[in-house]
Structure 1
Amino acid sequence: MSTENIPQSEPLRNDQVQNNAGGFSWAVDDMQRLRRFLCLGCEGGTYYQGEKELGIENAKSILKLIENGRGVEVVETIKTYSIEGRTSKQNPIMFALALCAKSTDLPTKRAAYGSLSDICRIPTHLFMFIKYAHALGQNWGRAQRRAVSKWYTEQNPSKLAMAITKYQNREGYSHRDILRLSHPSTNDALLCFLFDYITHGLQKAIENLNKPKESTNGDHTTEDKTDKDQPQVQQQQQQGNLNDEDDETNNKKLVTIEQLKDFLETVEKAKTSTNEDELITAIRQHHLVREHMPTNMLNSKSIWSVLLEKMPLTAMIRNLGKMSEIDLLSENSDAEKRVVERLKNREQLQRARIHPFNILVALETYKQGKGFKGKLQWQVSKQVKDALEEAFYLSFKYVKPTNQRYLLGLDVSGSMSGGTINGSPSVTPAVGSCAMCMVTVRTEPYAKVS
């Protein structure tokens, strides 16, 4: 019988297996399933399989790889996908890492915690990892306390100061919660000051500066070191690894306690400020970001105009709707020109490592003229919309070709025109699959679509 006449409900060969749709296809091995999960996740499930069921299935595949002695390989795969920016969302990355960290396989556990600082580059990632780790096992073992403590104590103080004030709490955790659970200990006076600020507030941290302290187990404060003892922290001594992919400005180094105090005092004052000029000065002098601004001042065109001057590319794309709503991106305005120029800048796109799918989501959302959550509505700027589309195509150029031969088959059934993918309501499976197919066709020399 010709294979063209065999229905999908029957196998073509004996090595095919039945899938969730009832048809037959070739089995996906556990490592392939891991890679697929890291890229696609399970948010919202699929047309044929629920989110919870899909999540359990992927977790079982990861556990099976660990049981078969491939746990370290799993961690390396997670690390590679995270660092190279191959995924559009971090949730699958953090869940898979937490699963490895909570494993009873010692090499896997060591590899997972050893990679924590490389994979969790900003507090959002760290809090997400801790949330998943808590769900998998509520006890904080020695390995987890040590790894999380190390995440804090190995940071450059200036970058850590920016991070703890920009990302104050996520996923139900605050930095104060994490410090109390991990008990970091350090001899660095700048870090001790920051830890005091996190746990006791700025005023208490300033009062504690000149009080001698004795090192105790689980106490982040140690012997007294003021500016006279440690006026500067050399960059080579405190390189840190908080490489926020959103932070193109590489915020100004704060190398003394006095400078840290000045920065934190500015942040605290900004929280309740209603003075535009005061906030604009703080933004320019201390590189404050949107998260530092009081909510009641986020409708100010002047504030957003200054924020835009140094705003990281990912944050800029995320806030296009808001900036359009307050009419900052009006036709032929300086702000509109700045946004368009940056969206078309190849070097900035490459440095920001923005996934093509995220640009597609931003484009589809922006051209709707309204958000899918909340009441935000805006007048669409044609120049910005066209620049987003160009940025989408430019982002393909940073995908390295494998030079392998590909035959891509696209599902054109009715199920592809409904629902969402990756939790993104602006993109249907049909649009998403075509976009990702385009990535392969534009980067691979030997690709055919049918």
Structure 2
Amino acid sequence: MEKNHDMKAQPWEVDDKARLCRFLCYGSEGDIYTAREEVQVSRKSAEALLALLEDGRGAEVVEVITRYSQDGRAVSVGPCLFALAVCSQHSDLKTRQAAFKALKEVCQDPGCLFAFIQYKKELKDSKNGIWGRALRKAVSNWYNGQNAMSLAASVAKCKRQNGWSHQDLLKLSHAKPANDGVALICKYIMKGWKEVKAEYADRENPEEVLKALSYLEVLEKVKHSSDETEVITMIEEHALEEEQLLTDHLKSKNVWKALLKEMPLQLLMKRLGKMTAKRILEPGSSDTQTVCDRIQNDAILKKGRIHPFSILVALENYKKGQGYQGKTKWETDSNIIHAMDSAFYKTFTHLEPVDKNLVIAVDISTSLSSVVPGTSVSTAVAAAAITMVFASTEANTQVLAYSGGSLVPCSVAAGMTLEQVTAELVKTPSESTDCTLPMAWATENKKAVDIFIIMTNNPIWAFSASPVEALKRHRQKMGTFSKFVMCGLTSNGHAVADKPDRGVLSICGFDLGAITLIRNMALGLI
């Protein structure tokens, strides 16, 4: 806990603000991130948040929550929603006001709003309930802050979550629509389509209301349609998604083919195996070609902010030819593999640099039987992909590899394929995990490094010497606040540092969230 604001803190000291940022990013105040782990947040896991609130810094906390929820800094939005719920129930009036004012910005969709309300319910520490005037006003403002079409689409995609529905929230907030468009959607939520249709049939409605009425009519029509051609036409003309269809509709191959044309690319890539298994995508078909064209469309990749590592995970899962439990199996299509491979390389041009001096050191087995948990990606290929991500965007990147307790030169250049980089990294078998070597190398060569990224597939990190002590020596000699990220690609994980250090992070396993955290660490955001 921060005690003395007059004393100048050292950059590696972990103060309450740093712990709050860690919590908002990955749901823990500690220095360990476990990939693909479901985050469980509570007051016990957010001690720094509570300390800052007690210190009278509520407005500052809400500002940080808002920033982290919007800027793509958080691995998941759950911790931000929990923290906002805590702020909204704090004893300080200004903190509560700031939290409710930020609700519209932090809760970008109904799912987030429902989760926020549920957190408030779970945090309730009085017998009076949570639905005071401030929450009623904030929820009402959330609905009134949208136009009719965006609200209609939100309601259609997410009707209920976390035990709450739109009908619940409108009832409990006593929401009063601020305009005709919102009034229409609220009426639809509370009364249903029949009453809305009867009430608006003979009115002279503004254009916004007419468009929303037309959209709602389609949603209702598709619910009662058993005509495959009619359903497909509605999907194509109104960009309907699977959440808006009936289970019976989703038994049709042709309906799925229509959905695939506009399906979000991230979701599409995850579904490729299943779609191939069900023969919705068949080799040489025009539907398969359309999907392949979408996958490698540069504009779609950029708009969807698709990361190379996401494509790699989807590609390796597809190439495996079966689901995780082995129940669903498929024959892979070379055209789909080629399209995803092409997309993998295209997305590198969309990555934003952190403009730091990096050292990437890889200690990895030549065995390709070792895989990153939760994926079909070998640790060797994962290490190569991660190396490529940073080496392709950062001008000052040095790639090193371990072998027999010494460093081996590693040539990773622009234009190399994933296979070439993988082969370069594993050309000499590893015999030990000595994580001090990269820091020692940089110190001896007087190379100031902003962040060391060290990857290993050793499930147990047995260090003969402390990597943190080597990091401290490098900091002292080079006069720079160097940072150290330990990526145990197959590990269950434990702390590297014996004392809190803002420049040290342990990653167990690997996923897209891990790359987010490495970027955050490099940019000084956690």
TM-score, with normalisation over the residues of structure 1?
Answer: 0.71
2:254 counterpart of 1:302: yes
C-alpha spacing 1:344/1:190, structure 2 compared with 1 (3 Å): same
CA distance in structure 1 between the partners assigned to 2:52 and 2:151 by the alignment: 36
For the 8 Å contact 1:85–1:355, the answer to whether it is kept is no
Q: Comparing both structures, which one devotes a greater share of its residues to strand?
A: 2
* Superposition deviation, residue 155 in structure 1: 0.9
- Identity among equivalent positions (%) equals 39
C-alpha spacing 1:120/1:51, structure 2 compared with 1 (3 Å): closer
Match of 2:445 in 1: none
CA distance in structure 2 between the partners assigned to 1:418 and 1:115 by the alignment: 42
Match of 2:9 in 1: none
2:111 counterpart of 1:124: yes
Match of 2:479 in 1: none
* Superposition deviation, residue 390 in structure 1: 4.5
Counterpart of 1:201 (choices 185, 189, 192) is 192
Query: Which secondary structure does the structure 2 equivalent of 1:61 belong to?
Result: helix
433-442 or 327-336: which moved more? 433-442
For the 8 Å contact 1:87–1:355, the answer to whether it is kept is no
User: Aligned runs of 1:88-237 on 2, under 5 Å?
Assistant: 88-137=75-124, 139-209=130-200, 227-228=203-204, 230-232=205-207
CA distance in structure 1 between the partners assigned to 2:359 and 2:303 by the alignment: 31
2:247 counterpart of 1:256: no
Match of 1:248 in 2: none
Match of 1:238 in 2: none
For the 8 Å contact 2:27–2:39, the answer to whether it is kept is no
CA distance in structure 1 between the partners assigned to 2:24 and 2:385 by the alignment: 18
CA distance in structure 2 between the partners assigned to 1:86 and 1:355 by the alignment: 15
Letter in 2 for 1:336: T
C-alpha spacing 1:61/1:381, structure 2 compared with 1 (3 Å): farther
* Superposition deviation, residue 152 in structure 1: 0.9
CA distance in structure 2 between the partners assigned to 1:448 and 1:105 by the alignment: 50
* Superposition deviation, residue 157 in structure 1: 0.3
CA distance in structure 2 between the partners assigned to 1:405 and 1:82 by the alignment: 27
* Superposition deviation, residue 372 in structure 1: 4.2
CA distance in structure 2 between the partners assigned to 1:52 and 1:302 by the alignment: 38
Query: Which secondary structure does the structure 2 equivalent of 1:367 belong to?
Result: helix
CA distance in structure 2 between the partners assigned to 1:376 and 1:105 by the alignment: 54
Query: Which secondary structure does the structure 1 equivalent of 2:281 belong to?
Result: coil
* Superposition deviation, residue 161 in structure 1: 1.2
C-alpha spacing 1:419/1:331, structure 2 compared with 1 (3 Å): closer
Query: Which secondary structure does the structure 1 equivalent of 2:49 belong to?
Result: helix
Deviations 1:403-425 (A, max 9, x none): 22234566869xxx7884xxx56
Deviations 1:83-127 (A, max 9, x none): 333445333333333333333344443333323222322222222
For the 8 Å contact 1:300–1:326, the answer to whether it is kept is no
Deviations 1:184-242 (A, max 9, x none): 112422322211211121112334448xxxxxxxxxxxxxxx742x423xxxxxxxxxx
C-alpha spacing 1:30/1:388, structure 2 compared with 1 (3 Å): farther
CA distance in structure 2 between the partners assigned to 1:159 and 1:288 by the alignment: 13
CA distance in structure 1 between the partners assigned to 2:62 and 2:25 by the alignment: 15
C-alpha spacing 1:118/1:200, structure 2 compared with 1 (3 Å): same
Query: Which secondary structure does the structure 2 equivalent of 1:295 belong to?
Result: coil
Match of 1:242 in 2: none
Count of matched residue pairs: 378
User: Aligned runs of 1:70-81 on 2, under 5 Å?
Assistant: 70-81=57-68
For the 8 Å contact 1:329–1:381, the answer to whether it is kept is no
CA distance in structure 2 between the partners assigned to 1:160 and 1:363 by the alignment: 35
CA distance in structure 1 between the partners assigned to 2:382 and 2:294 by the alignment: 24
* Superposition deviation, residue 279 in structure 1: 0.3
CA distance in structure 1 between the partners assigned to 2:13 and 2:195 by the alignment: 60
CA distance in structure 1 between the partners assigned to 2:326 and 2:43 by the alignment: 31
Counterpart of 1:67 (choices 42, 50, 54) is 54
2:70 counterpart of 1:83: yes
CA distance in structure 1 between the partners assigned to 2:289 and 2:333 by the alignment: 11
2:394 counterpart of 1:444: yes
Letter in 2 for 1:287: A
Deviations 1:311-363 (A, max 9, x none): 33334334333322322322232232222222223332222234555444433
Deviations 1:115-145 (A, max 9, x none): 3222322222222222223222251333222
RMSD: 3.7
Match of 1:11 in 2: none
Match of 2:298 in 1: 346
User: Aligned runs of 1:35-54 on 2, under 5 Å?
Assistant: 35-41=21-27
Match of 1:317 in 2: 269
Letter in 1 for 2:263: M
Deviations 1:292-325 (A, max 9, x none): 1211221322112222233333343343333223
TM-score, with normalisation over the residues of structure 2?
Answer: 0.61
CA distance in structure 1 between the partners assigned to 2:140 and 2:331 by the alignment: 46
For the 8 Å contact 1:33–1:58, the answer to whether it is kept is no
For the 8 Å contact 1:85–1:354, the answer to whether it is kept is no
C-alpha spacing 1:140/1:366, structure 2 compared with 1 (3 Å): farther
- Which entry has the higher C-alpha Rg, 1 or 2? 2
* Superposition deviation, residue 267 in structure 1: 1.4
CA distance in structure 1 between the partners assigned to 2:310 and 2:257 by the alignment: 24
CA distance in structure 2 between the partners assigned to 1:418 and 1:94 by the alignment: 33
Query: Which secondary structure does the structure 2 equivalent of 1:310 belong to?
Result: coil
Segments of structure 1 that go 5 or more residues without pairing to the other structure are: 1-25, 211-225, 233-254
Letter in 2 for 1:196: K
For the 8 Å contact 2:184–2:209, the answer to whether it is kept is no
For the 8 Å contact 2:26–2:33, the answer to whether it is kept is no
Match of 1:274 in 2: 226
Match of 1:235 in 2: none
User: Aligned runs of 1:325-364 on 2, under 5 Å?
Assistant: 325-354=277-306, 358-364=310-316
Query: Which secondary structure does the structure 2 equivalent of 1:128 belong to?
Result: helix
Counterpart of 2:334 (choices 379, 382, 400) is 382
Letter in 2 for 1:183: H
CA distance in structure 1 between the partners assigned to 2:225 and 2:294 by the alignment: 30
C-alpha spacing 1:273/1:128, structure 2 compared with 1 (3 Å): same
